Structure 1
Amino acid sequence: MKINLTKQSGIYTLTSEQILPLSLDKAWKFFTLPTNLDKITPKEMDFRITNNPPNKTYKGQIITYKIGVLPFIKSNWITEITHLEDHQFFVDEQRFGPYAMWHHEHHFEEAADGKVKMTDIVNFKMPFGILGDFLAGKLVRDKVKFIFESRFKILEKTFAS
């Protein structure tokens, strides 16, 4: 697992790489099934999909969620799948939610021995500009990093060979 989190011009970028013991086809089918997001999000986030997306991700798709952003505080979150290249990548972007900006790229490529390399690139910006960054930046950075560290462990357990 490689996770890197940087900040430039008020925008945070998290990059996460993971090799999974799956074929590209199986990985694509798993990660483009919207309801699997519930399975790979840490329980502490109290995350749930609130609409009824079909069993396939497509460009233009809207998915709505409730997510615990702080203890006892839940937020509505709406994302749209804005780009999709079959068996290569898809992008979800926040349309409404807790961030001033959220842009999440999911990339998949074949790796050695029939495995798949999955790379996530998340660009996000805090609401309320400098004030939001000052008041909650570290907390949110740590939370986003925690989500991807937890996701790594969940996926390792789920796809243990």
Structure 2
Amino acid sequence: MVSKAAQDTLTIDPVAMDIVNRVAAGCDLSGDLNFEGGLLVQGQLEGHIRVDGRLIIWSGASVRGRIRVMGDLYLFGQLGSPNGGPHDTSLECEGMVYVSKSGVSTGTLFARRLQMYEGAQLKGPFHTLQVNDRLPVLRDVLVQPPDAA
């Protein structure tokens, strides 16, 4: 008798998850972007991106650049360029990263925790953030001019 393994399930409820922003399928958005609340990406997103909530990258969608997520990341699509390396994209996640069976990451991930589902592809490096770790985003770092002698 062969027993079936229990199947993992990810439940996405945009209302309960405070997903109040959306980049729809067919849309291309790039630049220095800040989102208040959660974000659902179904199109293409690129740039310096800050999400003050959860980020959901849907199947068929892609996100590239320097990204900071203040909540959890749900990866069903592409993080980074399909042929890109770990320096192409970096994402810092203050919460948990969930990579589904259709999710692919070629970028560098920094997060407190990672959960991968069967079939998930993590092609770039993963670094665990400790409780007091917080990585600066380049534009958040104040550059001090050298003292004049």
- TM-score for both structures, normalised by structure 2: 0.26
Which structure is higher in helix share?
1
Using CA pairs below 8 Å that are at least 6 residues apart, which structure has the higher relative contact order? 1
- TM-score for both structures, normalised by structure 1: 0.24
Mark the structure with the bigger radius of gyration.
2
